[in-house]
Amino acid sequence: MRFSRILMSLVVFSLLLAACAAPAAPAATPTPAVKGTIKIATQSPLSGGQAALGEGLKNGAQLALEQLKGPIEALGFKVELVPFDDQAKPDVGVANAKQLVNDPDILAVVGHLNSGVAIPSSETYKDFDLAMVSPANTNPCITDRGYLTVNRVCGRDDVQGAVGAEFAFNELKVKTAFVIHDKTTYGQGVAEFFRKRFEELGGKVLGFEGTEEKANFDPLITAIQAVNPELIYFGGIYDQAGVFFKQAREKGINVVFLGPDGMDSSELAKIAGDALVTGGGMYYTSVAAPPTAYEGAKKYIEDYKARFGKDPEPFSAQAYDSMAIVLKALEEAIKEAGGNKPTRKAVAEKVRATKDFQGITGVITFDERGDPVKAKYFVIKVISGKPEDWGKNQLVKTLELAPPPFTPELKAACGVK
């Protein structure tokens, strides 16, 4: 018994000696501290009749964030996307804007799709120094208010409307037109710019009508038949225009259809079908070409389809570029702040200072009001009534044009003294 106790004591003593002699385990490598979270919001219609374009905008921004957030994460910050559904309604966009400006982690916004939503929403962004980069808003008053916080990567309706009028008069050789708009800031604005330039060229506008109708266009079609124009221009969005185009063809109207970039969605073909290619056919102008028209966009298209399981919609590539500009501005602002989270105003200043940024859609430099110093405008012919063929539409004409000079008169026209 005594021998057993001695033997056990020796074993325990040996184990203690071995433990003391063993080298210490290496300390775990500390995980770098996360300094905080930076959020970037999107605003676009994610429900309702314009959801196809709105979702494409959100997806393009999301893809850019996922692919390009690395440098900001290396500086110690998590980066998150916060998508908001503005439903293409100004009151919803403003309510969302009031909500997101109260989140101190949101340092920028990519959006909107609709100018009529963007203009009132951006008044809230301006009050809180929150930078907005728009992929799609074309109304002149987006930037002509002269706010530091408001920028866009696309062109303007005062140029786009004129491009459509010049194409109609000079190349389609039409001398009479009937102009329709949807009574929105975007649709009525671009329609007015089309009318102004068409008449300056010597064309005659036989009617200028606004309508919020979405289902029965018989009274409008009757008015058009009474004056017999050579071309119908529709300033508005595809979900309304598609119904009109279909009904007009069914009533025997076989003139040329023309519209702005609000027509640019495969959903238009889903609604109107062969009405787009029968009769006089259809053309539309756009500040955004199909992604396939941009040099270097092949990888983007492949990545988008792999990530979301479908082809990119128009303005998705512009949304990608808008997000890329925001991320670069954030990176520079963080570095300038000594590695700390920057202020919203600092981010806004870096966004506005964007120069020679190589994006998917081209090289982008912002002027003093947040417009690209040169923007591309396209004239596109619809070649099929099948939605799956929308990406094959024919690019007829490409122009690269500067915005009109920034004058006090332009600011005054937008209600800014």
Q: What is the pLDDT of residues 80-98, one digit of tens each?
A: 999 999 999 999 999 999 9
Which amino acid, 171? E
Q: Are residues 74 and 166 in the same domain?
A: no
Q: Are residues 172 and 136 in the same domain?
A: no
DSSP 167: I
Q: Are residues 41 and 150 in the same domain?
A: yes
Domain presence at residue 384: no
Domain presence at residue 23: no
Measured CA to CA, the distance from residue 61 to residue 340 in angstroms comes to: 24
Predicted confidence (pLDDT) at residue 176 exceeds the cutoff of 50: yes
Predicted confidence (pLDDT) at residue 160 exceeds the cutoff of 70: yes
Domain presence at residue 22: no
Q: Report the CATH number at residue 111.
A: 3.40.50.2300
Q: Are residues 179 and 324 in the same domain?
A: no
Q: What is the pLDDT of residues 288-308, one digit of tens each?
A: 988 778 887 899 999 999 999
Domain presence at residue 405: no
Q: What is the pLDDT of residues 94-146, one digit of tens each?
A: 999 999 999 999 999 999 999 999 999 999 999 999 999 999 999 999 999 99
Measured CA to CA, the distance from residue 325 to residue 307 in angstroms comes to: 21
Whether the predicted model's global pTM rises above the 0.85 cut: yes
Q: Are residues 166 and 184 in the same domain?
A: yes
Measured CA to CA, the distance from residue 236 to residue 80 in angstroms comes to: 33
The residue among 235, 267, 286 that closes a domain is 286
Measured CA to CA, the distance from residue 210 to residue 187 in angstroms comes to: 9
Q: Which domain holds residue 206?
A: 158-286
Q: Are residues 122 and 168 in the same domain?
A: no
Measured CA to CA, the distance from residue 238 to residue 245 in angstroms comes to: 10
Q: Taking a C-beta distance cutoff of 8 angstroms, is the pair 195, 220 a contact? A: no
Q: Taking a C-beta distance cutoff of 8 angstroms, is the pair 125, 101 a contact? A: yes
Domain presence at residue 46: yes
Q: Are residues 279 and 344 in the same domain?
A: no
The rounded percent of the chain whose pLDDT value lies above 70 is: 92
Q: Which helix (H) or strand (E) holds 374?
A: none
Distances from the Cα of 71 to the Cα of 19, 33, 177, 245, 341, angstroms = 45, 16, 52, 48, 14
Per-residue pLDDT, 11:
39
Q: Are residues 125 and 113 in the same domain?
A: yes
Name the more confident of 350 and 31: 350
For the chain, the domain total comes to 2
Domain presence at residue 45: yes
Angle at the Cα of 364 from the Cα atoms of 137 and 310, rounded to 5 degrees: 60
The residue among 262, 286, 310 that closes a domain is 286
Return the structure tokens found at 309. 């399981």
The residue among 286, 303, 338 that closes a domain is 286
Q: Are residues 299 and 330 in the same domain?
A: yes
Domain presence at residue 269: yes
Domain presence at residue 244: yes
Q: Are residues 217 and 311 in the same domain?
A: no
Q: Taking a C-beta distance cutoff of 8 angstroms, is the pair 152, 133 a contact? A: yes
Distances from the Cα of 278 to the Cα of 256, 269, 272, angstroms = 9, 12, 11
Q: What number of CA atoms fall less than 13 Å from residue 195's CA on the CB side?
A: 17
Q: What is the pLDDT of residues 249-280, one digit of tens each?
A: 999 999 999 999 999 999 999 999 999 999 99
Mean confidence (pLDDT) of the chain:
92
Q: Are residues 129 and 238 in the same domain?
A: no
Q: Taking a C-beta distance cutoff of 8 angstroms, is the pair 38, 330 a contact? A: yes
Q: Are residues 301 and 228 in the same domain?
A: no
